[in-house]
Structure 1
Amino acid sequence: MPEDWAADSHRRTRTLIPPEVTHREKWRLALDMLDSLGDWGMTPPVVADAAYGTNAHLRAGLSERGCTYVLSIRSDVSVRTPRQRPAPVPCCSLSNAVTASATARRQLRSTPPC
């Protein structure tokens, strides 16, 4: 059920939606369906688009269940192995750039020539 329907008591009354029926996020519904399939002895591979692939909760749930999956992600999402650290964020302001270049010049002056 859409979130705005779940919060609209008038609409719920008109459409006879019982109070125990609530909004659940799509990724939770997907995991619920996979759990139901698992109860029946079925463990299908999961293939999904970026709307699901960028959801860390879904990815964790799939991993916890031992699912085989291929998920699309957006181009602005970084991917790394568990052992890798995130890449450093580049300087984004003029004051950081000036400080970084001044630090680099000091390091060059203090380094002995080859």
Structure 2
Amino acid sequence: MTNKNLDWDKYFANAKWNEICEKSPFFDMQRPPSLVHQEAGLVYLSSLDLDFSLSDGDALKSVITDVQSVLQRSLESKNYYKAAVASTDLAIISNLLSELGIQTSGLI
């Protein structure tokens, strides 16, 4: 049975990020998720806790092995949340490099 007393869509649309993190066991003690911020021209990769310029293909290519290492270590330690974050970061990098016209076959 569902509870119709709270409009969750409205709640999430207006809630502050910190409030969601404090109330969610999923985000407790986790880094913020990866994020592409077009207006700032940056991508934040949660698996590395670093940001990069959306136009810096060389920097994005240079961290592929680092993200792959995070993915491998996370799978070995059975930390599937971190593995999913690293896998998502690889997809983000691949998409951004593709948008820059840089081939990713053989890299990712």
Q: What band does the TM-score fall into relative to the shorter chain? A: under 0.3
Structure number, greater radius of gyration: 1
State TM-score, norm by structure 2.
0.27
